[in-house]
Each structure stands twice: as C-alpha cells, then as structure tokens.
C-alpha cells in the first residue's frame, strides 16, 4: 500500500522523499504542516485520526463546500486512517503502522502515547530505524503538562510584547506563526535524522517545541537580550536597528520603504529629490539615521506625500530601493501570479479537486507532487487496514 508501483519509462519524476513512509499521529497545525511538506516531496503520509477526526475539520468558517479551509490548507497528499486508541484492535493496527514507518510524528502531550505502547522506547524495539519526532508546546521536562497553543507561546515567548504600537496593547501575530515555524523545524530535523540513518542505520528520537522555536525565531530580538542585555519593546512598525524600514504615508495611502544600507538610502534620496541628506552627518550612516529617525522621518514624508503608491513603487524599485505596497491576501496571491510564481495549484481531479497553495520549494529534478486532495475522515481506512493486517514483504 505504502510503496507505489515503479513508474513507467519516461513517466513523471518521483519526489525526493519517494519511498519513505510517514506515520502521522499529529493534529491541528505544526505536525500536519510538517507532514504535508514531506508528502509534497514524495513521502507516503498516513494521517492517523481519532474517531472524530482532526480538530481542524470543525474549525470553520471559512469553508470550501462544507469542509474547513483550515483543514484543507495543511493536509493534502495524505491518506486518512481513523483509529480509536481505546480499542485493542485499533491499537494493534497503530503499532503495526509504527513498526513499518520510516518516520513517526506525534504531538500528544509528552508521554501521552506510552499507555498505548506507541512511545519512542516501545516503537524502537520493533523498529530501531524509525525517526520519531515529538512536537510539544514547552518540551518534555518541567512544563510538559502545559497545553501547546500558539497564542500561549506568542505571549510567553515575548513576541506579543514586540507587536503593536508603543503606547498600545500587545497584539498576537496574524497567523499561528510559531506553529508554522515549529513545523518547519520538525521537517528540517527529520531530514537531518534521516541523513544520519542513511550513514549509520540507526533511527533516533527528536523533540521540537513551540517555545524553543519561538526563541530561535525571534532572532535579533532574542539575541539583543541574551547577547546584549537589552530587552526589546514595542515599536509599532518601526525597526530597532534600521531607518527607514517601515510603512510611510504617501499621497494615496502607505508604502513600505526600506533603506537597508547607505547606498539604498542615497538612491532613495535621489528619487525623492533630496540630494543633500546622505551628506548630512545626522543621516550619513545607518546608525546615524536610526538615532535621528524622528528628525529624518518628516523630511522623507514631505516628499513621499506628493506621489502615489504606484508611482513610487515603480520609481524606487527601478532605482534599487526596496519598497512594497501593503496588500490583502487576495492582492498578495495576485502579485505572486504576476511575478510568475504560480502560487495556486489544483490538487486532485474532478469534483474532489481542491485549489491549494504551491509547495514553497522548487526542485529541478524531483518536483513536488499534488496528487491527493486532503482526505475525508478514514477515506482510505479499508485499504490501509487490509495492508496493515497482511503479512509484511
């Protein structure tokens, strides 16, 4: 079941992870996002769900037909197997799947699979080559019992203290940013562990958690504290180390304007007709501009306010100055289409086909696949049960 038939000569190329079997015992976002990336790259992913299915199946609106678009966004290219882990027969099937898998991913509370004989120590007895990935909110030590919700981690990590206006309340990010980041870290760790297995023949247990991913992902802000002793604070849309690097008002709205180095600032001033500013000692270097941002901002805004977003975008980009309109999601997708990135793919065929966002990586020899639309609950259960109860090759 998991191993596909060999393609015919001249058939479509297989993904770089073709031949890998992934047992996906995760749900919600971080784990399913990681396994979707692996599935796109050719891995055979079996999504194990409880009798009621992944929670995100009921997270609606928005919907496509009657199906949650949240669920659709992270579950393509998988096969669904519904198992009740309180049922002995289903637990036996789950153990058999774990024994056959190259990779097992789970995001139960730390230690939660031990009572089913599906924890790492139990699984590796039958499958010493398994790469077993555990995802949690706060690790498996002192705070293992804390529930792993992205919003909790946005608060606890310090991200919300950085998000919002200086004198306003803290805000969450517009997406579950640390769930996504943790999923990426999980997929990266799995690929590294598979490489180690290729060299040694041994699997291993890897753990990722939202808080560690958050502190890593806060990059310059967490470094400011641990390396420099500075505690970052909310600055609205401003950057602590660069100016300009924020939305600035123009004639018909706002435009993101970036001067990441002295050359870009000089070209910005040239476009705006402010040739003397780069020679002003207050603005000559990046650190000078950052220190004197309140003096520089009105000088830039005065000239920006006389021109439209479209005019400035074209002129600044042509001059090599980074800038961007502030788009809606719809406009962002349209922009990607105009850029030739083909951001939307159709997964599956016929009435079951689902539009989806393209896998973020392009491969010259082994492109991602878009074969299977997100599965219905237990859609592949009969075939998978037959495969798991049949003798192994």
SS3 label, residue 81: strand
The closest of 352, 356, 385 to 369, measured between CA atoms, is 356
Q: Kindly calculate the radius of gyration of the chain based on its CA atoms and give it in whole angstroms.
A: 25
Max Cα–Cα distance, the chain, nearest Å: 80
Q: Quick one: 66 exposed, middle or buried, by C-beta within 10 A (0-12, 13-18, 19+)? A: exposed
Residue-wise DSSP of 69-127: HHHHTT-TTEEEEE--TTSHHHHHHHHHHHHH-SEEEE-SSTTTTGGGT-SHHHHHHH-
Is 230 a known active-site residue?
no
3-state secondary structure of 312: helix
Whether the CA torsion 334, 335, 340, 342 is positive or negative: it is negative
* CA dist., res. 59 & res. 177, Å (int): 18
87 Cβ contact partners less than 8 Å away, ≥ 6 residues apart: none
- Asked if 381 and 53 count as a contact pair (C-beta separation under 8 A), the reply is no
For CA atoms 269, 297, 311, 317, give the dihedral sign.
positive
CA distance 202 to 18: 20
DSSP state of 138: S
Distance (Å, whole) CA 28 – CA 55: 6
**First-residue to last-residue Cα distance in the chain:** 11
Which residues touch 367 (CB under 8 Å, ≥6 apart)? 13, 15
CA distances from 248 to 234, 261, 368 (A): 18, 18, 39
Catalytic residue among 179, 230, 262, 378: 179
What is residue 248's DSSP assignment?
A: E
CA neighbor of 105 nearest in space, from 177, 17, 15, 207: 207
Q: Catalogue the active-site residues.
A: 179
């Amino acid at each position: 079941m998991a191993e596909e038939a060999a393609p015919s000569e001249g058939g479509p190329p297989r993904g770089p992870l073709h031949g890998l079997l992934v047992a996906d015992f995760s749900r919600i976002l971080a784990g399913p996002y990681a396994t979707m990336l692996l599935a796109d790259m050719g891995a055979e992913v079996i999504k194990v769900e409880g009798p009621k299915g992944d929670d995100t199946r009921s997270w609606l609106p928005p919907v496509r037909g009657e199906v949650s678009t949240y669920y659709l966004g992270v579950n393509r290219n998988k096969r669904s197997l519904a198992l009740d882990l309180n049922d002995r027969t289903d637990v036996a099937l789950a153990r058999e799947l774990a024994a056959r898998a190259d990779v097992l991913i789970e995001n139960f509370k730390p230690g939660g699979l031990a009572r089913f004989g599906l924890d790492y120590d139990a699984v590796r007895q039958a499958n010493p080559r398994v790469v077993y990935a555990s995802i949690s909110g706060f690790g498996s030590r002192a705070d293992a019992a804390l529930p792993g919700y992205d919003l909790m981690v946005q608060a606890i990590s310090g991200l919300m203290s950085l998000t919002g206006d200086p004198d306003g309340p803290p805000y969450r990010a517009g997406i579950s940013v640390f769930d996504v980041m943790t999923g990426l870290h999980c997929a990266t760790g799995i690929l590294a562990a598979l490489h180690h297995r290729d060299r040694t023949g041994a699997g291993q247990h890897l753990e990722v958690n939202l808080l560690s991913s958050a502190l890593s992902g806060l990059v310059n802000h967490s470094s400011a504290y641990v390396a420099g002793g500075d505690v970052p604070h909310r600055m609205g849309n401003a950057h602590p180390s660069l100016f300009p690097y924020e939305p600035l008002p123009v004639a018909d709205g706002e435009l993101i304007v970036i001067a990441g180095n002295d050359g870009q600032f000089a070209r910005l001033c040239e476009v705006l007709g402010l040739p003397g500013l780069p020679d002003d000692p207050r603005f000559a270097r990046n650190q000078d501009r950052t220190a004197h941002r309140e003096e520089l901002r009105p000088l830039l805004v005065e000239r920006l306010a006389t021109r439209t977003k479209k005019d400035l975008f074209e002129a600044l980009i042509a001059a090599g100055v980074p800038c961007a309109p502030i788009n809606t999601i719809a406009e962002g997708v349209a922009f990607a289409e105009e850029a030739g990135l083909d951001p939307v793919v159709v997964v599956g065929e016929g009435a079951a086909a689902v539009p989806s966002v393209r896998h973020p990586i392009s491969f010259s020899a082994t492109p991602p696949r878009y074969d299977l639309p997100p599965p219905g609950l237990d859609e592949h259960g009969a075939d998978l049960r037959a495969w798991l109860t049949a003798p192994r090759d």
